[in-house]
Amino acid sequence: MTTALEAATHRALKQLGINESITQVTDYGQIASYGVMSTPALAIDGEVRTTGRVPSVDEIADLITSSS
């Protein structure tokens, strides 16, 4: 099942020309281990960047490029 956040992240990666895999975490224990209290959450390279909302494709692209 593709979530809105996963779909937006795929679009952002495509927009940037980046071929990377995405891992959707659904285990509550693993989510909590990131310190996430509100889902959905986006982590890039293990660092939580957004929680509790689905950012726009452009915002996700900005987060990805600022993490590189």
Give the pLDDT confidence of 47-57 residue by residue, as tens digits: 999 999 999 99
Give the pLDDT confidence of 5-48 residue by residue, as tens digits: 999 999 999 999 999 999 999 999 999 999 999 999 999 999 99
- Is 15 within a domain? yes
Domain containing residue 58: CATH number = 3.40.30.10
Q: Is the pTM of this model over 0.85?
A: yes
CA dist 40 and 36 (Å) reads 9
Number of domains making up the chain:
1
- Is 16 within a domain? yes
Bond before 40 cis per omega within 30 degrees: yes
- Is 43 within a domain? yes
- Is 67 within a domain? no
pLDDT for residue 7: 96
Which residues constitute the domain of residue 36? Answer: 4-62
Joined tokens for residue 65: 């490029």
Joined tokens for residue 36: 């996430």
pLDDT for residue 28: 93
**3 state SS of 3:** coil
